[in-house]
Structure 1
Amino acid sequence: MEEIYDLIVIGAGMAGVTAANKCGAAGWRVAIVDALPYGGTCALRGCDPKKILRRGAEIVDAAQLMQGKGIDPHGLTINWSDLMAHKRGFTDPVPDKMEKGLTGNGVETLHGAARFTGTNTLEVDGKPYEARRFLVAAGAMPRPVRFDGADLMIDSTEFLNLKALPKRILFVGGGFVSFEFAHIAARAGAAPVIVDRGPRPLRAFDPDLVEMMIERSARIGVELQRETEIVSVAENGGVFTVEVTSGGQARTIETDLVVHGAGRIAALADLNLEAAGVTYGDKGIAVAPHLQSTANSAIFAAGDSADTGGMPLTPVAVIEGKVAASNMLKDAQVAPDYAGIPTAVFTVPELARVGLLEAEAKEAGHDVDVRFTDTGGWYSNYRIGETSAAAKILVDKSDGKILGAHMFGPEYGELINFFGLAIKLGLTAKQLRSMTAVYPSVGSDLGSLL
C-alpha cells in the first residue's frame, strides 16, 4: 500500500476539481480520479457545449423574428458540422487545461474507474489507494427507463456529438434536456416531438410561464405530447417505431432518432459504496448539512453525488466543492448557502426561475403579492420582434422582500441574476427598484416589473 493520501477526490467535474485544487493548494497530499476526460458534464457534455449549439438557434430565430422588419431570413440555415466543430473548439482543450491546473496545485491526477474496497480504501483499475478523507463528486447519469428497446435511445452526450442531425427526433421526457435540444433541433430544420408521461412538464418552473413557453415552442415546430407513456422502441433500417399509449389508446410514432430526456440520477452504482458503509440512493449519498456522509465520517460528497435536496446545477456543485474542502481542511461543519441561486431552461427564448414558486410561497404561509406582467409588447421585445415574454415577481407583503422571480423571454436568463442577488442579500422590491440601469437595456425593464 502506498503512502496514505490526505484526500482522494472521485470525479473530475466542477465540484471535484474545485475541492482538489483548494486542498492541494493548502498543502494536502491530494489525488483525483476519473474514468472520463477531466472537465465533467457541464464543460464537456452539458451546459457549455449545449449553449454553443444554442447560438446557432438564436441566430436563426432572431432573423425569423425580424422577417418583414428589414431582415430577409430566407436561405439562412445552420451548418450542423461547422457548428459542431465550433463546439469542439471549446470542449477539446478543456481536459488538458483542467489537468494542468490540478498538477500546478500539487494534485496527483489518476485515470480509471474507482471502486471502494473499505471504509478508507479504494482501488483504481485494480491498484489500491488509501486516504484519510474522500470526496465523492462523480456526477449524474441518465435515469434508467424500463421499456423494450430502451437501449436504442441515445443520451444527451451522444446528441451533443451527432455528426448529422436527422429530420425526425423524438425526445423521451419533458425536462431540461428535451426542451433545450428540441429548440436547437427545430431551428436547425428538424421536426422534434417531446413525449412526456405527466400532464405538466418542467414542474420546477412557474406553470403559467411553462405554458407560454410550450405555446412558443409549438410555433417553431416543437410538438409536445402530454400524458403519453412509451411502451417500446424498435428499429428497422434506421427508422425507429415508438409505441406509446395515451388516454388508454395505443398508437405508434415513426422517427429517425430517439433521445433520452427523462431525467438523471446520481452516478454511484459502480463505486461499491457498500464496502465503505455509505448510505446512498438515486439522489446521492446521504449527507449531513455540511456535506459529510451520515454513515462514514471519512467521506464527503458534493454536486450530483450529494443528497442535499438542492438543485442539480453547476454553480451549486462549485459551492459544495468549496464548502466540502473548507470543512475538511478546518475540521468544520459549515453548511453551504443556497439562497438566491437562479436556474434556467435555455430554450429560445429562455425560461428562468429563482426563489420560491407561487404555490410554495403560499404554502409556507407568506402573504404574497404576485406581480405578473406580460412583456411581449415592451420596447426591449418589440425591438427584436419577440411577442412572447412575461415575468412573475413574488413579493412578501409583510416586509416587501422578494420571495421569488419567474421569467420567460429574451435575455431573461441574465435579468434573473438581479433577483437572485436581491434574494441572497434580503433586498426589498423598493430597494431593487431604486437601481438605475443603462437605458435602453433589458436591465432597465427591471424597475417596471416591480
Structure 2
Amino acid sequence: MDQLSPLDAAFLEVEDADPHASLAIASVAVVEGPVPSHDEFLALMRSKLPVLPRARQKLVRAPLDLSTPAWQDDPSFDLTYHVRRTALPAPGGDAELCALVARIMGQRLDRDRPLWEYWVVEGLGDGRWAILAKVHHCMADGVSGTMLYDVMYGDAPPPEHAEDAPAASLLSLLGNVVRAPLDLVGGVLSLMWSLLPVRATSLYGHIGSPRLYRAVRALLPEVKEIAHAFDVTVNDVVLAAITQAYRALLVERGERPSPYSIRTMVPVSVRGDRRLDNQLSLRLAFLPVDAGTAVEALSLVHKRFTDAKRGHQAESGNALAQLARYEPFAPLAWSVRLGAMMPQRSIVTVTTNVPGPRKPLRVLGRRIVEILPYVPIAIRIRTGIAVLSYTDRLAIGITADRDSTADVDVLAEALGKAIIELLTASRRDVASMHQG
C-alpha cells in the first residue's frame, strides 16, 4: 500500500481538528452544449480509471497514528456513487452556479470511500453545462489538479506512481542543510516571525460549515499587459487586486485598514514530478490594505513578495516537509491536530494562483469554455481566494464562511474594479511614455 506523505496527511489532521472544515479542492469546468447523457459521461470516466489508480482507492489509518495513512484498493468501489448529476434552477446564471458550488463544497467527502466526486451540472444559460470536480486536498494540490484536466480531457500521459518518483533521500536533504545552512535557518526564522499575531479585525475568527462562493473573471492578456507596464509579475497584479478588495471590505465594515491587518498564506509549488500528491510550500506576507490606490498596492505587493522570496521561506518550508518523512508520524499528527484547534491569529486568508491548461480542452467533443477554481477554508480563516488561468482567461474563485461573511459580494465587486483600475493606469502610463 502507498502511504501518504506527512504533508498530505496534515490536511486530514486539520479537517479532523476543525468540525466545520471540508478540505476538498475543486474546479468547475463550464462546457458548451449539448449535455451528454449520464451513461455517456460514466463511460468517459470509466475509460480513465485504468490510469488513475487513486480513483479506486480509499484511506486506511494506522492504529495510534504509528504511520501515515495508506491508500488501499476499495473492494466495494462503485463509480456511480462518485459520478453524480444535478441541475441549476432557472435562469442558470452565475448566482445559481455559485450557490450550488458552495452547497456541494460545504459537505465533507466520505472517508470510507475514495475521496472524490464528479458532478455533472445541467441547466446553465446559453445551453451550457458544467463539471464540478471535487477532490480531497490530501490527494492533490492545485497544480496536480490541473494535471488531471490534461489527463481527463487532453492527451497528457497518466500521472506517475509513488514508486516511480521516490522522495529525496535523507542524506540528500541533510546535504542541502549543510550546503546552505544560513538560507534554510533564515527561512525558518522568517516563517516563525511571520506567524506573529495580526491586528484584530472581523476577517478571521470562528467559522461555520456553510459556505458562500463567488467568481470574478479577467482576461489573461490584459493582466499580463498590466504586469509588463509596471515591470511586475502576474501574481503581483492579482495580489494587488485582492489587496484592494480586502481594503474595500474593511472600509465597508467601518474598520481601519491597518498595514498589519491581513497576512496571507500563498502556496508555492515545489513540484518536481507528475505524482498526484501535494508538492507545495508557502510564503507568508502582509497584504498592504493601507494603500489608497491599486497602483500603490501593486508597488508594495511586488516589494513584499520579492523580499519573501529572498527570505527562502518556501525552500525552508519544503525542507521541513521532506524531513518530516523521516520522523515518527504520531507526534506530528498530534501536533498538527492540536495546533489546528488553537485560536490562531496569524493567517487571515489564503491566496493561491495556479497556471491552468494552456490549450483549449474538449469533453466528449464539447469545448470547455472556462474553468473556475475553489479553495477550502478552515482554522479561523474566513475567506480564501483561488486564481486559475485557462487559455486566455483568468478566473478568480472566492470562498467565504457564510455565517461571518455574508457581504462577500463587496469583496468580489472590489476585486474586479481593482483589475480595471490597474489596467486603466497601465495604459495611461504607456500613453504618457509615448507622448513624452
TM-score (norm: length of structure 1): 0.25
More helix by share: 2
TM-score when normalising by structure 2:
0.25
- Which structure has the larger Rg over C-alpha atoms? 1
Instruction: Answer 1 or 2: higher relative contact order, Cα 8 Å, separation at least 6.
Output: 2
User: Which structure: greater strand fraction?
Assistant: 1
